[in-house]
């Protein structure tokens, strides 16, 4: 008798477990979707990013003929193996930053520049916009026109960048947020080791760009 009642209770018990699990999963998915739309560092489709960055209105994206381009200096994605970890690139413990000869001398002295100014200058092809985040983040999404120069890039490969862009170029470096140390360390390396005299860090980083462009596209009549 008790065995029978146990058997009949089992499906009800399982249903009682699976329904809340399904509810939690659904709630998480909905919350994730809503939050992702609102979060400055949320995920966007690649097409959506380009539209948001180059054009605040709903008209089709027009990439300026000269200068406002998108390219990657990294020839191929660096294999994520021991010695070149993604996490070290994120934490700033990179091959550039960790090398004793390449220690930034005065990161704090590097001036910052707001996104509004960067946008104007980039559209006028007056600056080289550099994305200091690791390559997967750049590939996932970046400010249109930005060049990928990840912090974990070996110093030898940085030479490709220096050969392409003269020392007189105005360079603006950005990372994910102000908390990310890669922008400042890369900017100081470019200035102190490679002689770029006009190097700035974009205030707020990629998050600031997101906030500014989202605010723009949501504004009435803009």
Partner 1 sequence: MKIAFEVGWKTSLRWLVALLLVWAALPKLGNLQEFYGDLLAYRLPLPDLLLRSIAMTLPWLELLCGLMVAARVWLRPALALASMLSAAFAMATGQAWARGLDISCGCLKLSLLGLSAEATGAWGRLFDSVGFAFFRALLLGAAALYLLRQKVEMSGEEWTRAAG
Site of interaction with partner 1 (CB under 8 A): 17, 20-21, 23-25, 27-29, 31-33, 35-36, 39, 41-43, 80-88, 90-93, 133-134, 136-137, 140-141, 176-177, 179, 206
Smallest separation (angstroms) from partner 1 to the CB of 138: 9
199 closest CA partner among 146, 117, 129: 129
Which CB sits closer to partner 1, 165 or 210?
Answer: 210
Terminal-residue alpha carbon distance, the chain? 73
Smallest separation (angstroms) from partner 1 to the CB of 156: 21
Which CB sits closer to partner 1, 118 or 131?
Answer: 131
Assigned token pair, 207 = 């998050």
Kindly write down the DSSP assignment for every residue of 202-218, as one continuous string: ETTHHHHHHHHHHHHHH
Smallest separation (angstroms) from partner 1 to the CB of 213: 15
Which CB sits closer to partner 1, 20 or 166?
Answer: 20
3-state secondary structure of 171: strand
Residues 6+ apart with CB under 8 A from 123: 64, 67, 68
Which CB sits closer to partner 1, 22 or 159?
Answer: 22
d(CA 119, CA 121): 6
């Amino acid at each position: 008798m008790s065995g029978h009642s146990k058997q009949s209770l089992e499906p009800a018990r399982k249903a009682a477990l699976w329904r809340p699990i399904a509810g939690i999963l659904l709630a998480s998915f909905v919350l994730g979707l809503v939050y992702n739309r609102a979060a400055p560092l949320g995920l966007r489709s690649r097409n959506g990013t380009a539209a948001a960055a180059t054009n605040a209105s709903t008209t089709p994206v027009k990439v300026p003929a000269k200068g406002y381009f998108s390219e990657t200096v990294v020839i191929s994605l660096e294999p994520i193996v021991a010695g070149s970890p993604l996490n070290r690139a994120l934490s700033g413990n990179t091959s550039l930053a960790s090398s004793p000869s390449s220690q930034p001398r005065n990161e704090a002295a590097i001036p910052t520049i707001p996104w509004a100014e960067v946008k104007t200058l980039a559209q006028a092809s007056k600056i080289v916009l550099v994305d200091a985040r690791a390559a997967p983040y750049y590939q996932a999404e970046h400010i249109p026109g930005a060049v990928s120069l990840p912090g974990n890039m070996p110093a030898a490969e940085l030479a490709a960048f220096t050969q392409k862009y003269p020392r007189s170029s105005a360079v603006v470096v950005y990372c994910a947020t102000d908390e990310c140390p890669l922008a400042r360390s890369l900017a100081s390396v470019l200035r102190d080791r490679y002689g770029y005299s006009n190097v700035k860090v974009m205030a707020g980083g990629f998050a600031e760009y997101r906030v500014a462009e989202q605010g723009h596209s949501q504004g009435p009549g803009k």
